[in-house]
Amino acid sequence: MNVPFVDLKAQTESIRPEIDEAVKRTLDRCDFILGGAVSELEKNFASFSGCSEAVGVSSGLEALILALRAVGVSAGDEVILPANTFIATAFAVSATGAMPVLVDCDENYNIDASAVESKITPRTKALLPVHLTGHPCDIEKVLEVAKRRKLFVIEDAAQAHGAEYKGKRCGSFGDIGCFSFYPGKNLGAFGDGGIITANDSALAEKIRCLRNYGQKVKYEHIYIGSNNRLDTIQAAILNVKLKYLDGWNDKRIKNAALYGELLKDVKNVRTPSVLPGCRNIFHLYIIECDRRDGLQKFLDGKGVQNGIHYPIPVHLQKCYESLGYREGDFPVSERLAKRILSLPMFPELTAEQIRYVASCVKEFYSS
Q: Is the CA virtual torsion 53, 59, 64, 69 positive or negative? A: negative
Domain 8-103+110-242 has CATH 3.40.640.10: yes
Q: What is the pLDDT along the chain (367 residues), one digit of tens a residue?
A: 999 999 999 999 999 999 999 999 999 999 999 999 999 999 999 999 999 999 999 999 999 999 999 999 999 999 999 999 999 999 999 999 999 999 999 999 999 999 999 999 999 999 999 999 999 999 999 999 999 999 999 999 999 999 999 999 999 999 999 999 999 999 999 999 999 999 999 999 999 999 999 999 999 999 999 999 999 999 999 999 999 999 999 999 999 999 999 999 999 999 999 999 999 999 999 999 999 999 999 999 999 999 999 999 999 999 999 999 999 999 999 999 999 999 999 999 999 999 999 999 999 999 8
What pLDDT sits at residue 352? 98
DSSP state of 303: T
Torsion of the alpha carbons at 289, 283, 79 and 120, rounded to the nearest 10: -60
Which residues, other chains included, contact 171 with Cβ-Cβ below 8 Å and sequence gap of 6+? 49, 51, 155, 157, 160, 177, 178, 179, 197
Q: What's residue 313's pLDDT? A: 98
Residue 65, C-beta contacts closer than 8 angstroms, at least 6 positions apart: 92, 95, 96, 228
Q: Which amino acid is located at 124 in the chain?
A: T
Q: Enumerate the domain spans of the chain.
A: 8-103+110-242, 245-366
Q: How far separated are the first and last CA of the chain, in Å rounded?
A: 20
Domain spanning 245-366: which CATH class is it, in words?
alpha beta
Length of the chain: 367
Which residue from 191, 171, 179, 202 is spatially nearest to 232, judged by alpha carbons?
191
